[in-house]
Every structure is written in structure tokens, then in C-alpha cells.
Amino acid sequence: RRRLINKTRYIHTIQTHPFAKAKRNEFAAVADSFFYPLVGGFGFRQLTLSQHNIKQDFDKILFYKYLQVVGNIILASKNCPKCPQYCAEVVPMLLYMRYTPDPKIQSYVIALVATVVLVLPSLLLRTEFFEAMVEFRSWLTDLLTNVDLTMRLGGPKSETAIFAGQILQLIEKNLGEYNLV
């Protein structure tokens, strides 16, 4: 009888629950040790380099990699309970850097805005991050409508301008009925 019970196969037509396949985010346990040392030192001349006795706050290459790593850490901690805190730490930095004259830094800022929009649920974007999202939406609109700014990004048909348009559309989609323009 035990052999019969063990060998019997049951075929069900009911689909499995989507959360039955969900896996725990292993990065959540160590995300703090990666994120806070990176963001905690921004703007305090911790990446000071000396070239001919001229102090520089950051070297461009290091700064590009820094922005890229911060974006990757936020994407990796998508299901982490502290992800909204990480985004709250990054958003003021992005608001500060959005009007930088360097087009490559602006493209990294656009990518980090995309990371924040992708990682956070739309409810949090509409409540806690609403003012920042409205600011980013107006900035991206200015980037796409102002000819001088668009040409600095590489022209209206460049990848950066197209990416900025896609992020603008994503922000407007997530804000939904709360659009105020």
C-alpha cells in the first residue's frame, strides 16, 4: 500500500501561486555594507585627488563608476526592505547633480532616476517621492524641449535623448492620475 501511495501521480489543473516560486533576496542582508559607505561620503571631499597641487573633489572616471555602482546596488536591492531608504538617500544627490554641465554625468543621473522609478512601487512614488518625481519630470521635459540642452546631450535623435524620453514616459505612467501640469 505504501508503494502504491508513493508511486501515484496526481495531475492538477490549478496553476501554482506566483509567490510559490519567489526566492529570497540574498543581497538584502549585506546591502547596507555596500550602500552607505558609497553614499555617506558624497560631497565631503573624500575622493580628493591631487594633481600639481590642485585639489579636485573627484576624478571624472571614478565618479562615473561611482554613479554606476550606486545604480547597480539599488537595482540589486529591489526587494530589500530598506530599498526605499536607499532611494531616499540617492534622490537628493540626483536633484543636486541634474543641472551639471557635463552631458555624461547627466546621462548617469537619468539612468539613476530610471533605477529609482523601476525599483520603487508606484504607490511610494506617488506619496513619499512625489515632489522629487515632479522635479525630475519637469527637468526631463526641459531637457527634451530646450534645443540647447538637447544638443548638449548629443541631439534629439541621440540615445541619451531617447532614453530621457522613455524615462519621462515611465515617470508619467507611474504617477498616473496625479499628473499636475
77 three-class SS? coil
Dihedrals phi, psi of 49, to nearest 5 degrees: -120, 145
Q: Which of 99, 83, 178 is nearest to 134 (CA)?
A: 178
pLDDT score recorded for residue 139: 92
Predicted confidence at residue 130, as pLDDT, reads: 93
CB 140 within 8 A of CB 171: yes
- In this prediction, residue 18 carries a pLDDT of 55
Condensed to tens digits (0 to 9), the pLDDT of residues 51-90 reads 554 445 446 777 888 889 889 989 988 888 888 998 998 9
- The residue ranges of the chain whose pLDDT is under 70 are 9-22, 27, 34, 36-59, 147, 149, 153, 155-157, 177-181
Percentage with pLDDT > 70 across the chain:
69
Report domain extents, the chain: 2-178
Q: Please report the pLDDT score of residue 91 as a whole number.
A: 93
The single residue listed with the C-alpha cell 506566483 is 18
Task: Give the predicted TM-score (pTM) of the model.
Answer: 0.69
